[in-house]
Amino acid sequence: MLMKGQKEFGDFQREMLERAERQKELAQRKAEQQRQQEERKKKLAEYQQELSELEGAYRQGNFQLFVVYGPEGSGKTMLVQEFCGWKRRIFFKASGKDMIDQKNFAERVQGHYEKPGAEPLTSWSSVFKYIAINEQGKNRKDERLVLVLHEFPAPVKRDDLFMKMFKDAIDQYLSQTKILMIIINSDTEFMQKYFLDENALLHPNVSGCIRLENNKLDYDETDKIADEAARNAKGISNARMKIQKFSADDIILREGETNSVMYKIITGSAVCWFNYGTDDEYVLASMAEGECFGEYSVLTGNPSIYTVVAFSDMLVMKISKEDLITFVEMNTKNAIDIMENSAKMLNVMAMNIEMLRSE
pLDDT value of residue 154: 63
Q: What's the whole-number mean pLDDT along residues 149-154?
A: 77
Q: Give just the sign of the alpha carbon dihedral 16, 18, 19, 23.
A: positive
pLDDT value of residue 341: 66
- Which has more pLDDT, 98 or 131? 131
SS3 category, 23: helix
What is the reported pTM? 0.54
Strands (E), the chain: 64-69, 89-93, 146-150, 180-185, 208-211, 243-246, 251-253, 261-267, 270-274, 282-287, 292-293, 307-310, 314-320
**Is 60 exceeded by the pLDDT of residue 354?**
no
The 8-class DSSP code of residue 241 comes to G
List, for residues 158-211, the tens digit of each pLDDT value: 678 889 999 999 999 999 999 999 999 888 888 888 998 888 999 999 999 998
- Please say whether the beta carbons of 294 and 244 come within 8 A: no
For the stretch 77-96, what's the b/e string if a residue is b when 16 or more beta carbons lie within 10 angstroms of its beta carbon? bbbbbbbbeeeebbbbbbbe
**Is 50 exceeded by the pLDDT of residue 50?**
yes
**Is 90 exceeded by the pLDDT of residue 27?**
no
Distance CA 92, CA 309 (A): 16
**Is 70 exceeded by the pLDDT of residue 215?**
no
Distance CA 50, CA 156 (A): 28
List, for residues 78-88, the tens digit of each pLDDT value: 889 888 888 89
- Which has more pLDDT, 186 or 23? 186
**Is 90 exceeded by the pLDDT of residue 147?**
yes
Cβ atoms within 10 Å, residue 141:
10
pLDDT value of residue 359: 53
List, for residues 306-337, the tens digit of each pLDDT value: 889 888 788 888 887 777 777 766 666 666 66
**Is 90 exceeded by the pLDDT of residue 148?**
yes
Q: What's the whole-number mean pLDDT along residues 3-26?
A: 67
Q: What's the whole-number mean pLDDT along residues 92-111?
A: 80
Distance between start and end Cα atoms, the chain: 38
The tally of CA atoms less than 13 A away on the side-chain side of residue 229 is 24
SS3 category, 128: helix
pLDDT value of residue 170: 95
**Mean pLDDT of all residues in the chain?**
78
pLDDT value of residue 219: 45
Above pLDDT 90, what percent of the chain? 16
pLDDT value of residue 235: 56
